[in-house]
Amino acid sequence: MSIITFNNVGISGISACVPKKIDNNLSYKDLFAHEDFEKSIDTIGIREKRVVEGNTCASDLCFAAADKLLNDLNIDRQEIDVLIFMSQTPDYRIPATSPSLQHKLGLKKETACFDINLACSGYVYSLSTAFAYANLDSVNKVLLLAGETLSKFTSTKDKATALLFGDGGSATIIEKGNYGKAIFSLNSDGSGADVLKIPNSGYREPFTVDSLTDHTYPDGSIRNGTQIYMDGMEVFNFTMRCVPTDLKKVLTYANLDILDIDYILFHQANKFMTDFFAKKLKYPIERVPYSIQKFGNTSTVSIPLNIVSEMQNSFNDPRKVILSGYGAGLSWGTAYIENLKCYLTALIEI
């Protein structure tokens, strides 16, 4: 699949929710030699993250975001025909989390509900799915909920990941209207599946008692089989190779110059990486919003969270934007959205 296009389907509202608890990266200085620690902080650009406490789940953050968005827009909840829950951290393996959210939000029983699991490219992928449903004559509105609690499976003693991952939730309303064109490019390369994974998290390498045993690795990192592993250099090389090329492909298809785009909203993974993209694309850095310094890498949540956190009042007039997500899988996607004019709630904290 190369390119998917839609006409007159768009985003009417976005909300985002983060936990109140702040995890300051300065507290991890003992993991690194002093000079390495300061360099790491400056390179990735993450000063702090938000992390959940207790049994708070991604669905709780998404519920708060969705409830506020529906109320703020005064949307009749009977008009929601499809609910999509995008997350790697569901409430349970079985059942899916989306039907529970349908019930809690007071949506009709005829609402089609399903979960999607797809890491940091997930918002772009699931947004394309939401657009496809909203494009159908029989569908009024689609509610896309993207949420993650990555802190639950990150080792605080792993040098590759301890500084990176935060928690958050979001809600996006997609519907028909005078939105112009939307173009999606969706891509994957499963040969890189092992560079970012949780080993004992499914049925290929099932969980055992030994999965909880901590192991010390050559770089001094400590983690167990239920915690995320990342080969940072391989991930970096993958993004450098694929992300700018895919963005240029979408621009060529849309017959646009890079400077025709009002904003580029990259997945918030690493500030050095994102700065490099902007430089390589010859795109003004002041038109690339950042929130990574406050929230870290929230995976599939990072694009809508970045919009709500940093772009209040930016979409009062129609804008041309690029959304770019990339990560585990390996998977990456780019979306061009024309005439983006949508309501943004204030950021929610719970």
Cβ–Cβ < 8 Å for 271, 45: yes
Length of the chain: 350
For the chain, what percent of residues have pLDDT higher than 90? Answer: 92
* Bridge partners (DSSP) listed for residue 112: 82
**pLDDT tens by residue, 129-179:** 999 999 999 999 999 999 999 999 999 999 999 999 999 999 999 999 999
Q: Give the pLDDT of residue 133.
A: 98
| Residue 130 CB burial class (10 angstroms; 0-12, 13-18, ≥19) | buried
Residue 36 has pLDDT above 80, yes or no: no
Domains of the chain, first to last: 1-350 (3.40.47.10)
d(CA 164, CA 297): 6
Residue 249 has pLDDT above 70, yes or no: yes
Give the residue-averaged pLDDT of 113-121: 96
Residue with tokens 């694009």: 303
| Helix (H/G/I), strand (E/B), else coil: 146 | strand
Do β-strands 167-188 and 141-149 pair in parallel, antiparallel, or remain unpaired?
antiparallel
CA geometry: angle 71, 56, 82, nearest 5 deg: 45
**pLDDT tens by residue, 221-230:** 999 999 999 9
d(CA 203, CA 349): 35
Cβ–Cβ < 8 Å for 340, 261: no
d(CA 277, CA 294): 21
**pLDDT tens by residue, 257-305:** 999 999 999 999 999 999 999 999 999 999 999 999 999 999 999 999 9
Catalytic sites, residue numbers:
120, 267, 297
Mean pLDDT of the chain: 95
Q: DSSP for 74-100?
A: T--GGGEEEEEEE-SS-S-SSS-SHHH
For the chain, what percent of residues have pLDDT higher than 70? Answer: 99
CA geometry: angle 249, 252, 258, nearest 5 deg: 95
Q: Give the pLDDT of residue 2.
A: 76
Q: Ramachandran region of residue 56, left (φ > 0), alpha (ψ -120 to 50) or beta? A: beta
Cβ–Cβ < 8 Å for 212, 108: no
Residue 72 has pLDDT above 70, yes or no: yes
CA geometry: angle 213, 215, 220, nearest 5 deg: 150
Phi, psi for 93 (deg, rounded to 5): -70, -40
Give the residue-averaged pLDDT of 204-212: 93
Q: Which of 269, 270, 252 is nearest to 260 (CA)?
A: 252
Q: What is the DSSP letter of 204?
A: S
Q: Give the pLDDT of residue 235.
A: 94
CB atoms within 10 A of CB 43: 13
Residue 1 has pLDDT above 70, yes or no: no
Q: Give the pLDDT of residue 30.
A: 86
Query: Based on C-alpha coordinates, what's the Rg of the chain?
Result: 19
d(CA 12, CA 165): 28
Q: Give the pLDDT of residue 39.
A: 78
Q: DSSP for 16-53?
A: EEE-S-EEEGGGGGGGS-HHHHHHHHHHH--SEEE---
pLDDT interval class at 42 (50, 70, 90): confident
Q: Which of 148, 134, 123, 126 is nearest to 56 (CA)?
A: 148
Q: Which of 318, 338, 330, 305 is nearest to 171 (CA)?
A: 305
